[in-house]
């Protein structure tokens, strides 16, 4: 019913930048919080950034000051601008959105397929 399509991942050198995008589509009545998670090999998935409908953001301490999340509510799209990338940022990045699919429905979590971000020289 709801699809999250991510783009912008890839290979980048340390100190470089990438911009991830995630567009939600399908049976969407309303979208609440959106966010970015990542999972490195052998580690649990962790929250990277979260953003409310009004644009209030929260970041993991490990990315604070380097990453910036924003959203375009008219396009149902959330962004993650990643600057000063480090090798330890290497992970699969997942987009998340809390979506109501119809009026007076329930809020549910939806996830993107994940996009690989590799930071290496």
- Decide if 12 contacts 88 (C-beta within 8 A): no
**Could you say which DSSP state residue 1 is in?**
-
In what helix (H) or strand (E) does residue 83 lie, and over which residues does it extend? Answer: none
**How many Cα atoms occupy the beta-carbon half-sphere of 53 within 13 Å?**
6
What are the pLDDT digits (tens) for 19-74? Answer: 999 999 999 999 999 999 999 999 999 999 999 999 999 999 999 999 999 999 99
At residue 21, the pLDDT reads 98
């Amino acid at each position: 019913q709801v699809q999250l399509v991510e783009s912008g991942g890839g290979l980048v050198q340390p100190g470089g930048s990438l911009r991830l995008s995630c567009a939600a589509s399908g049976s969407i009545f309303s979208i609440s919080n959106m966010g970015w998670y990542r999972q490195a090999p052998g580690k649990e998935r962790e929250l990277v950034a979260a953003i409310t409908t009004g644009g209030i953001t929260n970041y993991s301490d490990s990315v604070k000051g380097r990453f910036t999340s924003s959203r375009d509510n008219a396009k149902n799209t959330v962004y993650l601008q990643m600057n000063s990338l480090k090798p330890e940022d290497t992970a699969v990045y997942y987009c998340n959105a809390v979506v109501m699919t119809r009026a007076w429905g329930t809020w549910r979590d939806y996830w993107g397929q994940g996009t690989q971000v590799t930071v290496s020289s």
